[in-house]
Amino acid sequence: MDKTMLLNMEGVKKTIVHGGSDDISRFITGTKVPFHFRTMLCDEDRTVLDDSKKVGVPMEVVIGNMFKLEIWESLLCSMRVGEVAEFLCDVIHTGLYPIVAKSLRRIAEGKDPVDWHVHTCGMANMFAYHSLGYPDLDELQKEPQPLIFVLELVKVEQPNEYNRESWAMSDEERMKAVPILHGEGNKLFKLGRYEAATNKYKEAIICLKNIQTKEKAWEVPWLKLEKMVHTLTLNYCQCLLKMAEYYEVLEHTTDIINHHPGVLKAYFMRAKAHVEVWNEEQAKADFQKVLELDPSMAKTVRKELQILHMRMEEKRDEDKLTYKGMF
């Protein structure tokens, strides 16, 4: 192994495990870099925290796109395609690793990298400790320490060599993409392609949430983005209603109502979800709130309450037959 110090980079030692191609890779803003990584503690056992090869999918970063763990961009830019290198990084470079690792683990588990429907007051976040949901990352977050990153540079793709996804866009590009994604989602909804529509709405929401994290919570720019997120989330919920995903509708609409209690459409949609899962009292309460917010909805609410009454009667008849069969 060829051991070298990375020049002009304090607190990093590099060890080349396997040499790469002879050509030096060209890294410019917008270059996409797929790579495998393994993260280890600097203990006697070199305890492995994360390993992308176990997941089977390489990690990707786009150079100049403000990736949270900036050191990875610098490390990758020192490598050649096919190279495997080990980097010992001091704590000045590893403080954000637990947050990044949480997102990567959620992706590996098939979940959203961020809980885009969860809102947390920025001020509360500053003074309260929040679990990341993984004990080893919680420990690392409480007591940051040096880490070892083993990186394998798989490929280098220049900006004109791939189609840019939303995560690879700048904030300006994300804002331009949102109305396009919104419109595509609406068209798909009208065509009855609800699952495809949810993907468009969800991608637009993630674009906005990425921008929103850079704004100060509850100030005007943040609130403008929040309103846009609500519109898209409610469109997303309309698709979920069509797909009979009623409990997820309840989750998202309740989250909106808890933080912004005057959103009429959220109450109406939550009421319809309550109807579908036979939550009679909760549905009536939400329909009542709809009338308080907009009395002109009286005719629509009466119709929905009739549907609720019929569903509850059907449920009671079904329950009677079920219990009769049991005895």
Task: Take residue 25 and report the two structure tokens written for it.
Answer: 């890779």
Query: Buried b vs exposed e over 66-98: b needs ≥16 C-beta within 10 Å?
Result: ebebebbbbbbebbbbebbbbbebeeebbeebb
Q: CB of 80 within 8 A of CB of 20?
A: yes
In whole angstroms, give the CA distance from residue 30 to residue 123: 33
β-pairing, 48-51 vs 147-153, is unpaired
In whole angstroms, give the CA distance from residue 174 to residue 181: 10
DSSP line for 290-305: HHHH-GGGHHHHHHHH
Of 78-92, 184-198, 313-327, minimum mean pLDDT range: 313-327
What is the predicted pLDDT for the residue at 264? 96
pLDDT in tens, 3-14: 555 556 889 999
Task: Take residue 1 and report the two structure tokens written for it.
Answer: 């192994």
How many residues does this entry show for the chain?
327
Task: Take residue 255 and report the two structure tokens written for it.
Answer: 């989250």
Query: Residue 205 class from Cβ within 10 Å (0-12 exposed, 13-18 middle, 19+ buried)?
Result: buried
Across 165-186, average pLDDT? 84
Domains and CATH numbers, the chain: 2-161 (3.10.50.40), 166-304 (1.25.40.10)
What is the predicted pLDDT for the residue at 132? 83
Residue type, 221: P
pLDDT in tens, 109-142: 766 555 434 333 333 343 344 678 899 999 998 9
Please, which residues have CB within 8 angstroms of residue 152's CB and are 6 or more apart in sequence? 35, 36, 37, 82, 83, 84
Write down the mean pLDDT value for the chain: 86
What is the predicted pLDDT for the residue at 127? 35
